[in-house]
């Protein structure tokens, strides 16, 4: 389907939160207190983002996550790649060789290369959408002073 997964949404929300925190660590609990999201799943997503090198983690009682790069350096494409894996758009032309030998239509397929062009343009779009642009545009109600509020 032509749709982002919830995992990707969770990841984006978490990253936006981290970007707001400007380098301060933010725990999963903190994120889930700000947005009504399933805590465990968000934790899973953050872990994946950590593996992808998009966030750094610190363990221990006052641990949490921080952005690993500046918000300008993180793109929607990075997040999708980290959380949804391979980006094939069609079943052929996926980077990894697929079991079964791939698509039988391939040798005579008239739509393969046009579709690939579409895919490339789509990914260009995703790569050009930075976390910074997400943070600065939306309605995005401001937090209180960093580290001050968060009543719960």
Partner DNA sequence: TCCAAAGCGCACCCAAAAGGTGCTAATTGC
Partner DNA sequence: GCAATTAGCACCTTTTGGGTGCGCTTTGGA
Question: Using CB under 8 A, which residues numbered 26 to 55 contact a copy of itself?
Answer: 34-37
**Binding-site partner at residue 40 among a copy of itself, ligand SF4, DNA, none, CB < 5 to 8 Å by type:** DNA
Element (H, E) at 67: strand 64-67
Which residue in 73, 37, 35 sits closest to 55, CA to CA?
73
Residues within window 63-122 making contact with ligand SF4, judged by CB under 6 A: 90-92, 103, 105-106, 109, 111-112, 115
User: What's the rounded Cα separation, in Å, for the pair 60 and 15?
Assistant: 21
CA angle 60, 62, 68 (to 5 degrees): 85
Which one of residues 60, 110, 144, 147 is an interface residue with a copy of itself (CB under 8 A)? 110
In a 13 Å sphere around the CA of 73, the CA atoms on its Cβ side amount to 7
Give the CB-nearest residue to ligand SF4. Answer: 92
Q: Rule CB under 7 A: which residues touch DNA?
A: 1, 5-7, 10, 27-30, 38-41, 43-44, 46-47, 50-51, 57-65, 84
């Amino acid at each position: 389907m032509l749709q982002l997964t919830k995992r990707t949404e969770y990841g984006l929300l978490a990253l936006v939160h981290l970007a707001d925190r400007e380098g301060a660590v933010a725990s999963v609990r903190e994120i889930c207190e700000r947005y009504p999201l399933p805590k465990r799943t968000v934790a899973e997503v953050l872990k994946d983002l950590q593996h992808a090198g998009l966030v750094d983690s610190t363990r221990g009682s006052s641990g949490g996550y921080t952005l690993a790069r500046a918000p300008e350096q993180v793109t929607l494409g990075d997040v999708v790649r980290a959380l949804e894996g391979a980006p094939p758009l069609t079943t052929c032309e996926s980077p990894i060789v697929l079991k079964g030998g791939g698509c039988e239509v391939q040798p005579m397929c008239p739509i393969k290369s046009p579709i690939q062009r579409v895919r490339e343009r789509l990914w260009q779009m995703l790569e050009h959408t930075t976390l910074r642009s997400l943070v600065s545009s939306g309605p995005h109600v401001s937090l209180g002073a960093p580290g001050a509020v968060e009543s719960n």
